[in-house]
């Protein structure tokens, strides 16, 4: 019999990108008592709300996905809140889980917890061999404290808490807001908007900003808001703010500016595969050592841009803003332990996952945004 059937499972952050996919995976695997702990019902930074969540939902297992998270720009602007909110959520959820005698706590960490110059592929034994990349450090270290806490509570109290380290996630339903998105959704959206600009479809551009809830932006100390009534001049100004513009040499072609040099490498993990890995670990892994979960490959940002350009049939120009940070030089996980401990191997090829993500987003006017 499946170890999770009949268990009351609470997923924090269950309304989010990964959370929605995880809940579907749990339900499809036979779990019937799956609950969500998320805003606005529960503010997990608040101890009172954490206590109330445990009393209300009475879980056997908690899978903690909730996080305050974003890309490089968001990290640079919000280091204090990233550290505080993620640390407080983790510390309080683990402790109250122990206090309520739950059977298992599954903590989701982050690849940002690894040292900046970790040898590639990243192995779990390397996690303490240096300081994280600076723009990611507050978030990465806050998440890393759950590993310390999990191991301490297992040692002192026998509390069953495990710690998983996922790599960069992507897939349908991701966060595409320019304010806080990661690299793949940000790039897909940039090239989508650039294609719309090349066609002169300003109504679709305005609709895109309204759907992503980032239609308001401060430019030159003035607040601008993109609506269906906005002038072409205002829309062009906002697009330029985000690195999207008309080509000077050809008005029907667009230019997309990308941060950094393109030399950094990243590993990307399709969200449905990530959900399967978390379920497999929840069923079968009960040790204190952290475990990487990922796809086990790396691609440079430059090659990623080239692939997205081809898949999206972008016929414009790409430029690089080398004054912006690349972030950590390389990221790729060694996923041997996940395969050995709970028989997990990612199934979705990167190209396949990228095509699904692009189709989900670019066909949104007729689909998910309706």
Q: What are phi and psi of 306, to 5 degrees?
A: -60, -40
List, in order, residues 6 or more apart from 308 with CB less than 8 Å away.
184, 187, 188, 191, 314, 354, 358
How far is residue 63's CA from residue 287's CA, in Å, rounded to a whole number?
Answer: 15
Listing from the earlier edge strand, what are the strands of the sheet with 317-321? 244-246, 254-259, 317-321
How far is residue 318's CA from residue 194's CA, in Å, rounded to a whole number?
Answer: 11
Catalytic-residue membership of 242: no
CA-wise closest residue to 320 among 306, 310, 299: 306
CA-wise closest residue to 278 among 122, 125, 86, 63: 63
How far is residue 34's CA from residue 56's CA, in Å, rounded to a whole number?
Answer: 13
139, 170, 285, 361: the catalytic one is 139
Residue 212, SS3?
coil
265 neighbors 330 (Cβ within 8 angstroms): yes
322 neighbors 257 (Cβ within 8 angstroms): no
How far is residue 16's CA from residue 24's CA, in Å, rounded to a whole number?
Answer: 12
How far is residue 182's CA from residue 269's CA, in Å, rounded to a whole number?
Answer: 13
Active site residues: 139
């Amino acid at each position: 019999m499946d170890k999770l059937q009949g268990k009351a499972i609470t997923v924090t952050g269950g309304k989010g990108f990964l959370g929605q996919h995880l809940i579907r995976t749990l339900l499809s695997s036979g779990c019937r008592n799956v609950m969500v702990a998320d805003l606005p019902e529960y503010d997990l930074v608040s101890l009172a709300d954490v206590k109330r969540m445990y009393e209300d939902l009475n879980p056997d297992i908690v899978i903690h996905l909730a996080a305050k998270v974003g890309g490089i720009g968001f990290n640079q602007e919000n280091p204090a809140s990233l550290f505080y909110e993620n640390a407080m959520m983790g510390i309080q959820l683990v402790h109250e889980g122990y206090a309520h005698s739950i059977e298992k706590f599954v903590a989701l960490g982050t690849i940002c917890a690894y040292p900046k110059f970790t040898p590639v592929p990243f192995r779990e034994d390397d996690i303490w061999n240096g300081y994280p990349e600076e723009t990611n450090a507050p978030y990465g270290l806050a998440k890393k404290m759950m590993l310390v806490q999990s191991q301490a509570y297992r040692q002192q109290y026998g509390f069953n808490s495990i710690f998983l380290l996922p790599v960069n996630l992507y897939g349908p339903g991701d966060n595409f807001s320019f304010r806080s998105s990661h690299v793949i959704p940000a790039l897909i959206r940039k090239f989508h908007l650039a294609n719309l600009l090349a066609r002169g479809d300003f109504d679709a551009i305005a609709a895109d900003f309204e759907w992503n809830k980032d239609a308001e932006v401060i430019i030159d100390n003035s607040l601008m808001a993109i609506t269906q009534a906005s002038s072409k001049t205002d829309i062009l100004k906002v697009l330029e703010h985000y690195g999207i513009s008309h080509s000077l040499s050809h008005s029907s072609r667009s230019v997309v500016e990308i941060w950094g040099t393109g030399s950094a490498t990243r590993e990307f993990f399709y969200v449905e595969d990530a959900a399967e890995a978390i379920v497999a670990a929840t069923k079968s892994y009960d040790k204190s050592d952290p475990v990487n979960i990922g796809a086990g490959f790396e691609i440079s940002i430059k090659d990623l841009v080239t692939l997205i350009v081809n898949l999206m049939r972008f016929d414009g120009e790409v430029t690089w803003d080398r004054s912006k940070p690349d972030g950590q030089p390389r990221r790729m996980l060694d996923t041997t332990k996940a395969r050995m401990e709970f028989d997990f191997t990612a199934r979705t090829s990167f190209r396949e996952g990228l095509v699904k993500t692009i189709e989900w987003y670019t066909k949104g006017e007729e689909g998910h945004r309706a």
